[in-house]
A and B are shown apart, each in its own frame.
Chain A
Amino acid sequence: MREGGGVAVARPGVVARLGGAVLAAAEAAGDFALLAFSALRAVARPRFPAREVLVQLEAVGVRSLPIVGVTALFTGMVLALQTAFALGRFGARPYVGSIVGLALVRELGPVLTALMVAGRVGAGIAAELGSMRVTEQVDAIRAMGADPVQKLVLPRVLATTAMLPLLTVGADVLGILGGLVVSDLQYGIAPGFYLQTILRTVEVGDFLSGVAKTVVFGWIIAMVGCSTGLRTTGGTVGVGRSTTRAVVVSSIAVLVADFFVTKLLLVL
């Protein structure tokens, strides 16, 4: 009897919570779309925030270099280890460069860079805009007759979208370099030969398709960060929540988008 009652009480609770979660997700998606649209319109507004764009270019690009560089370097190194190990079974070890180069340029360079930037920049954006929101700085911008989308969102979206491809190029280069060092020291593959195999296998199209994807990733990371940040409620606790959510959502969105964009690029 008592247990039955407990279940009867619990059930609508679960349903209601599920419904609530769906509604909240739909609302977030709607806000995201609206924000994306306003950001697009803000590009053409007078008083383009050029200075803030420069500041963000530096914050997003230059200061992400170390973390992206280290990631790429070690990814290239471990990739060379694994590939050489696998190719050794076919006696094709000298061609490590071909596989490492292709994998880095087409897939790992773009995606790992995007994930690192999602963790660093996406979280930073959500935390900063979230704090601004809960301390009424966003309201203050509006109260002074300025547009938070133009002042805050646009510079971050432009900077991240512009910088991620550049960071990816850097990551590609460093990753290949990491592979070169391991191939040379560990397996005695001459650097010249390693680079030659890469140049022979990897085409300009491979490189471009990898870099092109990151424009989409950069946009996703910044937009998710801004949207989550500006939706923050509930004080400092809310800022923490927003930050976590921004990283989780943008990382997953990057991986999902990667599949579809890659498929699209393969068709083209």
Chain B
Amino acid sequence: MPAEGKLEGAEALALSGVRKSFRGVEILRDLSLSVREGEVYTLLGSSGSGKSVTLKVAIGLIRPDAGEVRVFGRPVSRLSEHDLVEVRKLFGMVFQGAALFDSMTVFENVAYPLREHLDLPETELRDRVEACLAAVGLPGAGALMPAELSGGMRKRIGVARAIALEPRIVLYDEPTTGLDPGNSLRIGRLILELRDRLGVASAVVTHDLALCEQVSDRVGLLHRGRLAVEGDRGLLRHSEHPAVRAFLTGEEGGRDGGGVPGRAVAREAE
């Protein structure tokens, strides 16, 4: 059922011709990619290739120098911060460093988007937060402070917070880095469940090749600021594309001295 549903989904998120430089160094140059409803799109790329920047451009945290971002067909890259609020309600985002609010309990962290956008009665709020915590394997963790959590627990709370509002699009920045195999599998199952149950469009950035195999409907490889290759979940196993080989071996294949300075080492976590 999911296998056929996913290809028919409407375009949920699209980047086209996106460019972004930081201090004269071009990180993204003409990047185009799209994620459909009910699809899990995995974005791979070596460290420093601009994957996190890509996700932040998608949700409007970073404005592209050129190019366009569309969310359910609506161009959003030139919206004001105020108008972006409506767009961002459709998103959930897992930050690479979890970005939990240190001053709040785990419960308040997960409740944050709910309190911001819904007027739920306190009991229902409690139930929804608890359900999200259970979904990431941390039921009853609500009373803890972020400083009391391990790295992997923080990451999972970050996932719980991202899905709390039942968003239509979820951006995962390395959701399983630092997790044990069992919990990585659990996160993978959660990503798939959201896809199948709610038709969520997911963009997953990861170095975890097992996760990539587990969840991806499509895989793209970011290389030198562009989408070098796109394919199915077996892309890394089958493709002989030089960018794929470079990604896997850490040896630069091409000769055009890229704008990504001196970092081509691909580290496959776990």
Contact = CB atoms under 8 A, between A and B. Distances in A.
| From B96, B99, B100, residue with most partner A Cβ within 10 Å | B99
A55 to B, nearest CB: 9
Contacts of B128: none
Nearest to B87: A145
Interface in A103-135: 128, 131-132, 135
Contacts of B93: 140, 143-144
Contacts of B100: 137, 140
Contact of A140 (B86, B99, B103): B99
Contact of B97 (A128, A135, A142): A135
Interface in A139-153: 139-140, 142-147
Contact of A137 (B84, B85, B86, B99): B99
B95 A136 contact: yes
Ranked 7 nearest A-B pairs via Cβ: A145-B88, A140-B99, A136-B99, A144-B113, A145-B85, A143-B93, A145-B89
A114 to B, nearest CB: 26
A89 interface: no
B124 interface: no
A139 B116 contact: no
A169 B220 CA distance: 64
A145 B103 CA distance: 19
A263 interface: no
A11 interface: no
B147 to A, nearest CB: 12
Contacts of B172: none
9 contacts: A135-B102, A140-B93, A143-B61, A143-B93, A143-B95, A144-B93, A145-B88, A147-B81, A147-B85
A131 B81 CA distance: 22
B59 A143 contact: yes
B88 A140 contact: no
Contact of B88 (A47, A135, A144): A144
Contact of B99 (A128, A135, A147): A135
B72 to A, nearest CB: 15
Contacts of B161: 144
Interface of B: 56, 59, 61, 81, 84-86, 88-89, 91, 93, 95-97, 99-103, 112-113, 116-117, 161, 165
A139 B61 CA distance: 7
Contacts of A147: 81, 85
Contact of A139 (B84, B89, B95, B102): B95
Nearest to B103: A128
A265 B91 CA distance: 51
Nearest to B62: A139
Contacts of A140: 93, 95, 99-101
Nearest to A138: B99
Contacts of B81: 142, 147
Contacts of B99: 135-137, 139-140
A137 B101 contact: yes
A237 to B, nearest CB: 17
B61 A142 contact: yes
Contacts of A135: 97, 99, 102
A145 B97 contact: no
Nearest to A55: B103
Contacts of B117: 145
A132 B99 CA distance: 8
Contacts of B89: 145
| From A136, A137, A144, A146, residue with most partner B Cβ within 10 Å | A144
Given A140-B101, A145-B89, 6 more contacts: A132-B101, A135-B99, A143-B61, A143-B88, A144-B113, A145-B86
A146 B103 CA distance: 17
B102 A137 contact: yes
A72 to B, nearest CB: 30
A136 to B, nearest CB: 4
A139 B88 contact: no
A142 B59 CA distance: 9
B57 to A, nearest CB: 12
A145 to B, nearest CB: 4
